[in-house]
Structure 1
Amino acid sequence: MNIGQALKRRREARGDTLEEVAYRADTDASNLSRIERGMQQPSVLLLQNLAKALGTSVSEIYRELEAGSRILELDEPLAADLAKMQRHFRHLKPADRVLVLEFTQMIKRRSKQQTSQ
């Protein structure tokens, strides 16, 4: 995964369009598209503007990039599923997030029980 892919993943998770993020970052959509496709690297200033437009920091994008790279090395389908879940999870109310986490823990316990039988 590269910085452009991390930016795209963050943008899509927020439900923002290329145009919306580009406008807030003071660039154009075609420039952002080239960055997301890995055809161009953003300058430090543009990366800071993009992070701000995405409601995050440059360091958080790099943390996500590093974590995503580790996940991708382990399991490509898992990374895709996690990205989908993140997009949905972001829009849940805090109480519903707790329910989702409890549900996944319950499934994990059930799965362990089934494998031990």
Structure 2
Amino acid sequence: MNIGQALKRRREARGDTLEEVAYRADTDASNLSRIERGMQQPSVLLLQNLARALGTSVSEIYRELEAGSRVLEVDEVLAADLARMQRHFRNLAPTDRTLVMEFTQLLKRRARQS
């Protein structure tokens, strides 16, 4: 796996489009596409911007590369769902976050009983 593939996996796991990530990273979608396909290497500054746009750090991306993609070895559908939930969770008020956590604990107990 190369840096572009790692970026693409993170982008897809979050459910983001090329355009969304490129905009947040202050580049264009065609540039990001070339990077993801391994046709171009990002500059250090662009890599930092891309990591930030993906809600991670450059060191986390390199850790993923070194670990042979263990960071995202979870089922891809689950990873994408978790990323979407995380984005929604961030926008909730603290009391609503508590409710979500309590609800997930209730679901977990229910699953164990089944």
Report the TM-score when normalising by structure 1: 0.66
2:78 match: 85
User: Which amino acid in the other structure matches residue 82 of structure 2?
Assistant: F
2:33 is equivalent to residue 33 of structure 1: yes
The amino acid across from 2:14 in the alignment is R
Distance 1:63 1:83, change over 3 A: farther
Residue 64 of structure 1 and its aligned partner are, at CA, apart by 2.0
Q: CA deviation at 1:55?
A: 1.1
User: Which 4+ stretches in 1 moved above 3 angstroms?
Assistant: 89-94
| Pairs within 5 Å for 1:1-117 | 1-67=1-67, 69=68, 79=73, 82-92=75-85, 94=101, 95=104, 99=108
**Change in 2 beyond 3 A, CA 1:14/1:44:** same
SS in 2 for 1:90: helix
Q: Greater helix percent: which structure?
A: 1
Aligned length: 91
Write the distance in 1 (CA, Å) between the matches of 2:66 and 2:77: 18
Native 8 Å contact 2:13 2:80 kept in 1: yes
Structure 1: state its 5+ residue gaps. 72-78, 107-117
The RMSD of aligned alpha carbons is 2.3
Aligned-partner Cα distance in 1 for 2:31–2:49: 13
